[in-house]
Amino acid sequence: MIERCLCLVCLDGASGAELSDTARAMLMLHGGGVAKNGGNRWYDKPMQFVVGADGCCGVVCEHSAFEGIVLVQCTEYLLKYMIGSPSKLVRAASVSELPAPRRLRWKCTPEIHKLLASSADKLQRLVGDLDMNVHHFHDYGKEFIKKQKMSPDAYVQVALQLAYYRCHGRPVSTYESASLRRFQEGRVDNIRSATPEALAFVIAMTDGICFLPQDTKKMELLQGAITAQTKYTIMAITGMAIDNHLLGLREVAHELKIEKPEIFKDEAYLISNQFILSTSQVPTTVEMFCCYGPVVPNGYGACYNPQSDHIIFSVSSFRESPQTCSAEFVKCLVQGLLDMRDLQRKERLSLLHP
């Protein structure tokens, strides 16, 4: 029955924790561990609808089946239905065509019990390792960015580059998901946000030794970084990025049983596919946010939701890595966003009062 079902409803007990957004994010991802609702998940199902006794509710999705936009559209439909049609909900609750639920009885051998205990220990280690930080940036949102005649997504991506550089003093291979849903059976490709233009801007903002230190020149570098990011985004969503094509060539070589081409053994290629910064924009029209974990041990997961007057960031990393800290990354990200705003204000003032 479980294998045949499309989705699951997870009825969680009260977690006993303060329901901050960071706590909600972790409870959705791992249930809070063995002592809470960690065993109340079935992670190979496409969608799990979590309903907590303490009001902590959400959806957990298994990414191989679909992209985040499907999760958002499904969740938004449900939330808008609940908000707009309470009478429909009452009727649906009183009259249901679904069969009555019945309890599934499990028969577990001693060997299965050992495996369950081992899985519980592994889950607990993963729960302790996850460093999640959900931050609401309230100083401005996408409307301010649009007034600067800039793409909000490209703007945030440049801010993420600035945040990482300030934290770690170097650029890294960055992944931003680009939807290919305009194509039949399209999934995603990769927008590589660590552009030379973004690096030039973050060096000017960080090192203080830029050969063009004036605010006007920094503004030019910011606009150049935004333009490069926007151009790559358009290429990616129209099927002109590099990652899917290279993946296709690699898999064709494997299927034809020919020697792996040299490019796929090259150190630069291998480094470029270690996405230390894994990012995605998941905008919503209702009050919600999305989150996920890093994709490499020493990396960050950074999901963001630009709203009119604020931006929600969900930043994750692993505590076992001595190189990463979600709180420090968020601190650098906030400072970078404020610096980018101040830079534009100074530029506007200089135009008004030359």
* Claim to verify: residue 37 and residue 146 sit in the same structural domain: no
Set 30, 63, 168, 245: catalytic member: 63
What local confidence, expressed as pLDDT, does residue 65 receive?
87
Q: Annotated catalytic, 63? A: yes
Q: Residue 96: which pLDDT band, with cuts at 50, 70 and 90?
A: low
What local confidence, expressed as pLDDT, does residue 199 receive?
97
pLDDT tens-digit map of 232-276: 999 999 999 999 999 999 999 999 999 999 999 999 999 999 999
Sheet arrangement for strand 47-52 = 7-12, 47-52, 57-61
User: What is the CA 164 to chain-centroid distance, rounded?
Assistant: 15
pLDDT tens-digit map of 338-351: 999 999 988 766 65
Map residue 123 onto helix, strand or coil: helix
What local confidence, expressed as pLDDT, does residue 131 receive?
98
* Contact of 77 with 67, CB cutoff 8 Å: no
Q: 111 is written with which tokens? A: 């060997």
* Claim to verify: residue 154 and residue 274 sit in the same structural domain: yes
Using the CB atoms, write b or e for 179-208: b if 16+ within 10 Å: bbeeeeeeebbbbbbbbebbbbbbbbbbee
* Claim to verify: residue 110 and residue 156 sit in the same structural domain: no
What local confidence, expressed as pLDDT, does residue 89 receive?
55
Among residues 73, 95, 129, the one where a domain terminates is: 129
pTM metric for this prediction:
0.91
What local confidence, expressed as pLDDT, does residue 352 receive?
56
pLDDT tens-digit map of 159-206: 999 999 999 999 999 999 999 999 999 999 999 999 999 999 999 999
Among residues 109, 129, 149, the one where a domain terminates is: 129
Among residues 74, 105, 129, the one where a domain terminates is: 129
* Claim to verify: residue 125 and residue 154 sit in the same structural domain: no
* CATH at residue 80: 3.30.559.70
What local confidence, expressed as pLDDT, does residue 354 receive?
56
Residue 2 lies in a domain: no
Which residue, among 29, 217, 49, has the nearest Cα to 126 in the 3D structure? 29
* Claim to verify: residue 198 and residue 244 sit in the same structural domain: yes
Domain count along the chain: 2
Greatest CA separation found in the chain? 81
On the question of pLDDT at 211 being above 90, the answer is no
* Claim to verify: residue 161 and residue 111 sit in the same structural domain: no
pLDDT tens-digit map of 11-66: 999 987 778 999 999 999 999 999 999 999 998 899 999 999 998 999 999 988 88
What local confidence, expressed as pLDDT, does residue 173 receive?
97
* Contact of 326 with 300, CB cutoff 8 Å: yes
Query: Degrees (nearest 5) of the Cα angle 58, 60, 64?
Result: 150
* Claim to verify: residue 118 and residue 202 sit in the same structural domain: no
Range of the domain at 65: 7-129
pLDDT tens-digit map of 102-157: 888 989 999 999 999 999 999 999 999 999 999 999 999 999 999 999 999 999 99
How far is the C-alpha of 63 from the C-alpha of 48, rounded, in Å?
12
* Claim to verify: residue 26 and residue 142 sit in the same structural domain: no
